[in-house]
């Protein structure tokens, strides 16, 4: 049988909730063959990040070439790429390809731990975003990318447009989980806005939501879906993953990658 493939380039999470572990689970659930290039080995769990060790640039490149020269992916996503040297390497590898590329601009962990050097933000703006198909920042990440505060839906619309029109992405979806009211995300594709709304669930078990959302988008693009179709699939998937989130660990528990299989059943709050 034939199957589409997707590659994640990101850091690890030994507790399994975020990073490449979350990405590979999402790829599997969306029925694409998942592969990974590890940039950083992270000691973290539901309570936060304890330690980060970056792999060497030559070894990251060896991983990338090993995958690309054997099983060229149908779509790529990047998550935690913490240093300028990593970004320059990835930009050089992707700049002459036509493979859909999703950026989850992982800058700050839910615990507040910084995962990216400050100078790296300029490199992601200037070198990676112009290569991207979709960029998926949450509100704090979008604020760092565009340089202004996002408090309202109109602010989110403006930020998404800046990421596309000024920074060069094909599309951007600013996730509205940090805004008041409904969990409304704003997608801008260079021409039109699409609003993706879901119920807001009263849970703090949301570890890995950004990784999972962007991984589903990547998987759907690998299967040939449009940007809008891929983002809508990601929104539906992550809504179910949060609704049926897992009460594991002593902090922010992980989302449930098989939550979509539980549709119609009550979650742990009885909803």
Catalytic sites, residue numbers: 175, 206, 208-211
- Taking every pair of C-alpha atoms in the chain, what is the biggest distance, in angstroms? 50
Write the Ramachandran bin of 171: left for phi over 0, alpha for psi from -120 to 50, otherwise beta: beta
Q: Determine the Cα–Cα distance for residues 133 and 108; give it in Å rounded to an integer.
A: 22
Element (H, E) at 243: helix 227-243
Measured between alpha carbons, how far is 206 from 220 in angstroms, rounded to an integer? 22
Exposure string over 229-243, b if 16+ CB within 10 A, otherwise e? ebbbbbbebbbbbbb
Q: How far apart are the first and last CA of the chain?
A: 39
Closest by CA position to 37, among listed 53, 55, 52: 55
**Rg, Å, the chain Cα set:** 17
């Amino acid at each position: 049988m034939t199957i589409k493939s997707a590659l994640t380039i990101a850091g690890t999470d030994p507790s399994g909730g975020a990073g490449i572990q979350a990405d590979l689970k999402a790829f599997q659930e969306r029925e694409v063959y998942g592969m990974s290039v590890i940039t950083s080995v992270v000691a973290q769990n539901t309570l936060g990040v304890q330690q980060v060790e970056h792999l060497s640039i030559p070894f990251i490149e060896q991983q990338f070439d090993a995958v690309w020269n054997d099983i060229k992916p149908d779509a790529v996503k990047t998550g935690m790429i913490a240093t300028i040297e990593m970004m320059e390497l990835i930009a050089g590898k992707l700049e002459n390809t036509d493979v859909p590329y999703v950026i989850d601009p992982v800058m700050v962990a839910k615990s507040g731990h910084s995962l990216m050097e400050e100078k790296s933000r300029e490199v992601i703006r200037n070198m990676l975003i112009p290569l991207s198909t979709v960029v998926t920042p949450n509100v704090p990440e979008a604020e760092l990318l565009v340089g202004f505060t996002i408090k309202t839906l109109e602010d989110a619309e403006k930020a998404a447009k800046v990421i596309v029109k000024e920074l060069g992405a094909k599309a951007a979806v600013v996730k509205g989980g940090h805004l008041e009211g409904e969990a409304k995300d704003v997608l801008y594709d260079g021409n039109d806005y699409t609003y993706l709304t879901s119920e807001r669930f009263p849970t703090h078990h949301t570890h890995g939501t950004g990784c999972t959302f962007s991984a589903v988008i990547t998987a759907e693009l690998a299967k040939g879906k449009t940007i809008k179709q891929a983002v809508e699939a990601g929104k539906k998937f992550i809504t179910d993953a949060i609704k049926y989130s897992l009460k594991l660990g002593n902090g922010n528990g992980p989302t449930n990658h098989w939550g979509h299989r539980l549709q119609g059943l009550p979650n742990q709050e009885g909803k």
